[in-house]
């Protein structure tokens, strides 16, 4: 059984740090979906279409990476793609606490995640 992982974010813009996480994750999982969120409340610099195109260009050398845009609950997206792993970047203790809360909420919505 192949493991599908999702790396969600707004990626506005996609950074070298994001690319590092994508490359490392692509080496760990059979399939990695880079899921770019439509979040107008963040007032993005680039449109969703531009962010998807930039990410596809930056990950073109990674055959097991798929880049998509989304505008739904992450738990729903994971179920739709049969993903069981979420990839998140953590920079500080406060990030860790926030991400842990999100992980618990997503697991309540999708126990397979």
- The tens digit of pLDDT for each residue in 71-93 reads 999 999 999 999 999 999 888 88
Is the CATH code 3.40.50.620 the one for domain 4-109? yes
Contact between residue 27 and residue 59 where contact means Cβ atoms under 8 Å apart: no
pTM: 0.90
Question: Helix, strand or coil for residue 71?
Answer: coil
Whole-number Å distance between alpha carbons of 38 and 58: 19
Q: Can you tell me whether residue 113 is helix, strand or coil?
A: coil
For residues 66 and 81, the answer to whether their CB atoms sit within 8 Å is no
22-35 mean pLDDT: 97
Nearest alpha-carbon partner for 26 in 4, 58, 52: 4
Give domain limits for the chain: 4-109
């Amino acid at each position: 059984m192949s493991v599908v992982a999702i790396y969600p974010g707004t990626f506005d813009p996609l950074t070298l740090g994001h690319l590092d996480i994508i490359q490392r994750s692509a080496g760990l999982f059979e399939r990695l979906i880079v899921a770019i969120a439509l979040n107008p409340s963040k007032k993005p610099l680039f449109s969703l279409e531009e962010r998807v195109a930039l990410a596809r260009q930056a990950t073109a050398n990674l055959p097991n990476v798929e880049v998509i845009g989304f505008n739904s609950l992450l738990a729903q997206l994971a179920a739709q793609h049969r993903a069981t792993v979420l990839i998140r970047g953590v920079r500080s203790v406060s990030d860790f606490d926030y991400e842990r809360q999100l992980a618990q909420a997503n697991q309540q919505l999708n126990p397979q995640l």
